[in-house]
Amino acid sequence: MANAPFAANLFMASGNRMGVNIIIFIVTGIFSMLSQTVLVRELMMEIGGNEIIFSVFLSLWMLLTGLGAAAGRFFSGKHGTMRTALILITVMIMLAPVQFLGIRLLAFAFSPMAGLMANIPVIFIIALIILFPGCLVSGMLFPVNCSIAGEESRTRRVYLYECLGMVFGGIIFFSLVPFAGNFQILIFSAAACFVILFIASGKRVFTAAALLFIVLSIFSEKISFAVYSTRYSPDKLVATSDSRYGRLDITEYGGQENYYWSGALIASSNNHNYAQEIAGFVTLQHSAPSNILLVGGTLSGVLEEIAKDTRVKKIDQLEIEPGIASQNPSFGREAKARFILDDPVRFMRESSEKYDVILMDMPDPSTIQLNRFYTTEFFRLAKAHLSSDKGVFAVAVSKGENFMLPELAELNKTVYSTINSVFHSAIIVPAAKNIIISNNNGYITNSAAELTKRMTEYKKEGDWFNTALILNTCNSFRIDTMMQAVSGLDAGVNRNSDPQTYLAAISLWSKKLGSNISGMTVMLKENRTIVFSTGFFMMLVIAFVAGRFRRSGFGTAYGVFSVSLASFVLQMVLLYIFQMRFGIAYFAIAAFTVSFMAGLTTGFISGPKLKLGTKTLFLAAIVIILLFGLSADIDLSAAFYFITNILIACFAGVILSRFAGNSSDDSGISFYFPDMLGAAFGGIIAGAMIPLYGTLPCIYFIAALLSVNIILRTTYR
């Protein structure tokens, strides 16, 4: 006993072996969560993408893990020994850095040119190759862990401790990310996990593994820098820094600095023409623009151009990422400029500042994160910050130089109609980007003659922004083309609960990749009733077939599948609504994920003790979901969303614990596989349904999906 590992002593109540087991389960959870977060984050940065790609990655992860669990039954039962578990967990941890490096290697192999967008099949193939080995091993661990978990409630116990490990994993990642890069976090965590495994098991091989990773962690910064450097070759990577929001990479080529945010190019140091054009056209829309707010575009050079205007006294630059703000040449140097580090949604809600001009120069709303700055709710918040009716609100959106592609026209159309739903008048200036300019008193103009007159009057002429440019930009052909593109009765308004602009941006993105989905999205949107009816019919078919298989446990499988799917989708919906209303997106992801896992764990622990029947639990869950649906459009406090998130997770935990307890097989696969499958479908459904139909139909769909369980349990009890 004197030599017994310290941690194992902590679990003496349940026996030494049991204590080691619990540590293995928790470490499995910790490292699964860490490697999932790091690898999915890295995949997103390397091959780009939006929430749909993110959903696909997560779904793929769940699906492969589920398949791993199914394959793992060969290692369960009498083969499922502690030794097998320790080997598998070692392989899982060892694989993660290889997977990390493999992402870069594959992206390089599949891309013929630096900076080229990867096609959808390529994205899928890379993700599949990268995720497959790790997920397979991680999945295999579940049945093996079940085999060593003891005789009673083994599935429930393993699931519970893995969930607990995931909570720790989430906390560890978000605590380390401000100080370390993805690779460093992975290496450091691997070393820590091996140390824990050594303490728990006393096996010396883990000391060697821990030492190897400790040595690696010393060089991890240099390794990750070298890996990222190859991504930008022939540009020279001069700096890289991670934060909770993403990663900022700065490269240098031909004397020019280029800025990449989470892998995507956001700006370069020489933006002279662009900056002059945007600043010129916007400031000419106000007779005395004294106080200006710039939202985004921190490195575009627009601030410096506006600062040259003698009429301008103060410029506030709103930027969420301190690393980007500090790269602005005016940061700490330009007397007129003040940098506000905050989320735009939160700033607009909490600040009382008033501005003559608000200019939004953000990337297009190709992600849900960005879409929240293009909604009617955000525009209303911005309008409240205008100093008077003369106040100008302008948004710069991508345009086609000589033609408006239908998908691009749709994107502009939704932004234009959303602005029109908030302001009295709106015009378009088809400059370097389409600048949609609005106010409430009509001073705004896109007449070339009037703009030329104002340019002279306000002494705004520059070497690029001049009469010829104004004539070229605002000639009748270009203005008419743009107005035709954005006008129309069918223009949708972009709302928090119905992200029309995001959907248009997704169509545009798919068009670039050669997969035209706009026709399909229109069809799916127009035939909403048919789609939902078909979905519901499919659920009934599943319920019916499930009944046939009940004797072999399919009723439980369907229950687990639907609960897992529902909780995943609801978590996404909650997170989505929360971010739309309160911003602070990345903190929210961390907080929601960790609190969800904590709620799930709590529910799982308390599930067996609750006296309520499973059917009653389902009914209660559906009522709560419907009540949440009814409140979705009400402006509620942030706490409401966290409480709802935890409540839903608790319900899911309680119900899942019942199913886990009922799981008849020793390997736990009949529980774990549908759980993973449900989460995989949940990811796909959330990624597709939110942009297509908005949040409310998602909620009703989930409620309907869960209600099938009541029918099932009534019919087949």
Site for another protein contains 246 (CB under 8 A): no
Quote the least distance from Cβ 107 to another protein, whole Å. 11
Q: Are strands 392-397 and 357-360 parallel, antiparallel or unpaired?
A: parallel
Distance CA 206, CA 203 (A): 6
Q: In the window 55-94, what residues touch another protein (CB under 8 A)?
A: 70, 73
Taken in order 276, 502, 570, 598, the sign of the CA dihedral is negative
Q: With respect to another protein, which residue has the nearer C-beta, 524 or 619?
A: 524
Q: What is the CB-side half-sphere exposure of residue 201 using CA atoms within 13 A? A: 24
Q: Which residues pair with 393 in a beta bridge?
A: 358, 438
Site string (285-314) toward another protein, x via CB under 8 A: ------------------------------
Site for another protein contains 673 (CB under 8 A): yes
Of the ranges 199-207, 233-241, 344-352, 373-381, which one interacts with another protein (CB under 8 A)? 233-241
Q: In the window 103-132, what residues touch another protein (CB under 8 A)?
A: 112-117
Q: With respect to another protein, which residue has the nearer C-beta, 331 or 464?
A: 464
Q: In the window 635-664, what residues touch another protein (CB under 8 A)?
A: none
DSSP letter (8 states) at residue 14:
G
Quote the least distance from Cβ 116 to another protein, whole Å. 6
Of the ranges 94-102, 228-236, 291-299, 701-709, which one interacts with another protein (CB under 8 A)? 228-236
Q: How many residues does the chain have?
A: 717
Q: Single out the residue of 527, 606, 616, 715 in contact with another protein (rule: CB under 8 A).
A: 527
Quote the least distance from Cβ 307 to another protein, whole Å. 18
DSSP letter (8 states) at residue 649:
H
- Number of residues near another protein (by CB under 8 A): 73
Q: Are 80 and 141 in contact (CB under 8 A)?
A: no
DSSP letter (8 states) at residue 343:
-
Quote the least distance from Cβ 117 to another protein, whole Å. 4
**Three-state SS annotation for 115-152:** CCCCCHHHHHHHHHHHHHHHHHHHHHHHHHHHHCCCCC
Site for another protein contains 449 (CB under 8 A): no
Site for another protein contains 495 (CB under 8 A): no
DSSP letter (8 states) at residue 490:
T
Q: Single out the residue of 519, 631, 633, 637 in contact with another protein (rule: CB under 8 A).
A: 519
Token duo for residue 707: 């209600």
Site for another protein contains 489 (CB under 8 A): no
Q: Are 7 and 200 in contact (CB under 8 A)?
A: yes
Q: Single out the residue of 14, 81, 256, 631 in contact with another protein (rule: CB under 8 A).
A: 256
Q: In the window 529-558, what residues touch another protein (CB under 8 A)?
A: 534-535, 538, 541-542, 545-546, 549, 552-554, 557
C-alpha angle 286-289-294 in degrees, rounded to nearest 5: 105
Quote the least distance from Cβ 532 to another protein, whole Å. 12
Backbone φ and ψ of 397, nearest 5°: -130, 150
Quote the least distance from Cβ 671 to another protein, whole Å. 12
Site for another protein contains 469 (CB under 8 A): yes
Site for another protein contains 467 (CB under 8 A): yes
Q: With respect to another protein, which residue has the nearer C-beta, 199 or 524?
A: 524
**Three-state SS annotation for 423-475:** CCEEEEEECCCEEEEEECCCCCCCCHHHHHHHHHHCCCCCCCCCHHHHHHHCC
Quote the least distance from Cβ 61 to another protein, whole Å. 18
Q: With respect to another protein, which residue has the nearer C-beta, 388 or 515?
A: 515
Q: In the window 345-404, what residues touch another protein (CB under 8 A)?
A: 400-404
Distance CA 587, CA 575 (A): 11
Token duo for residue 74: 């060969």
Quote the least distance from Cβ 281 to another protein, whole Å. 14
Distance CA 28, CA 9 (A): 20
Question: Coil, strand or helix: which one is 313?
Answer: coil
Quote the least distance from Cβ 659 to another protein, whole Å. 14
